[in-house]
Copies of this chain bind each other. A is one copy, B any other.
Amino acid sequence: MTATIHIITPVITEGIRSLDDVAPLAGKDLHFTHSLLEKGPSSIESEVDEALAVPGIMQAALAAEESGADAVIIDCMGDPGLKAARELVRIPVLGPAETSMHLAAMLGHKFSIVTVLDSVRPLLDDLARVYAVHDKLASIRVINIPVLEIEQRIAEVQDCLAEIALAAVEQDGADVIVLGCTGFLGCADAITERLESRGYSVPVIDPVPATVCVAQALVKAGLTHSSKTYPKPGPKSMAGLATFQG
């Protein structure tokens, strides 16, 4: 059984995501396709950024389904457009926040999210509430470094993340760490190492690879989201979309 997972990176910033990032997960049974947005924000750090990204995410999800993808992943920890995209397509659409939080809830008693900026706290906290795993959320801690500076300040980012992850474990009671920005892809090892050096063996969830694996699991299990929760909108809305696209 072979699956194709389409990753939508919901920004316009070239080079921010490469399929190399998930290459270790690919194989004979798993292929990836990828798209950026044509219109949208350069990064997502606010409700405004999310709102600007959603129309493009909906189009990309529709296009992915038409191209034969077996699942779609929205490559942003705000899960922008997750519910809207699910209304439009029948293949599974996964958000890394929803997926990582549920995995974290399964792997330990409490989890903390380590992320970029204070501005995304309310958003992530609300997601935890809507996803119904809020009782498991120990804390949200931030490094105060914007998304678009992650790459050039990567050593500092990893250091700060390790620092706040340690604080989350020691002061907030976290048993699992969730990376709170998909731009942190690849940073889990540095955090794990730091925690291990302090005697803590706790899982660190890197949302994109973790979500890829769960997406593959859903495809294999033949499961997708409920059409009762996410009914396909009628022709009116589609017309609305067409107008919008034009």
A residues apposed to B, CB below 8 Å: 1, 12, 25, 27, 29, 39-43, 45-52, 54-55, 58, 81, 83-84, 86-88, 94, 98-99, 102-103, 105-109, 118-119, 121-122, 125-126, 129-136, 148, 169, 173, 175-176, 200-203, 205, 209-210, 212-214, 216-218, 220-221, 223-231, 233, 236-237, 239-241, 243-244
Query: Which single member of B119, B132, B169 contacts A105 (CB below 8 Å)?
Result: B132
Contact A130 B130 (CB under 8 A): yes
Q: A50-B84, A108-B226, A203-B226 are in contact. Are A129 and B122 (CB under 8 A)?
A: no
Contact A203 B175 (CB under 8 A): no
Bound-state Cα–Cα, A52 to B152, Å: 35
Contact A84 B48 (CB under 8 A): yes
Residue of B nearest to A98 (CB): B106
Contact A132 B133 (CB under 8 A): yes
Q: How many copies does the complex hold?
A: 6
Q: A49-B237, A84-B47, A217-B216 are in contact. Are A226 and B209 (CB under 8 A)?
A: no
Query: Which single member of B118, B148, B244 contacts A52 (CB below 8 Å)?
Result: B244
Contact A169 B58 (CB under 8 A): no
Bound-state Cα–Cα, A205 to B223, Å: 8
Residue of B nearest to A131 (CB): B105
Quote the shortest CB–CB distance from A150 to chain B (angstroms). 14
Q: List 5 A-B contacts (CB under 8 A).
A: A98-B106, A201-B226, A213-B220, A214-B214, A216-B220
Contact A109 B121 (CB under 8 A): yes
Main secondary structure of the interface of A (DSSP, over half): helix
Q: Within 8 Å CB of A49, what residues of B?
A: 233, 237, 240
Contact A217 B226 (CB under 8 A): no
Q: Which of A94, A107, A121 has the most CB of B within 10 A?
A: A107
Bound-state Cα–Cα, A11 to B237, Å: 11
Query: Which single member of B58, B148, B223, B239 contacts A51 (CB below 8 Å)?
Result: B58
Quote the shortest CB–CB distance from A51 to chain B (angstroms). 4
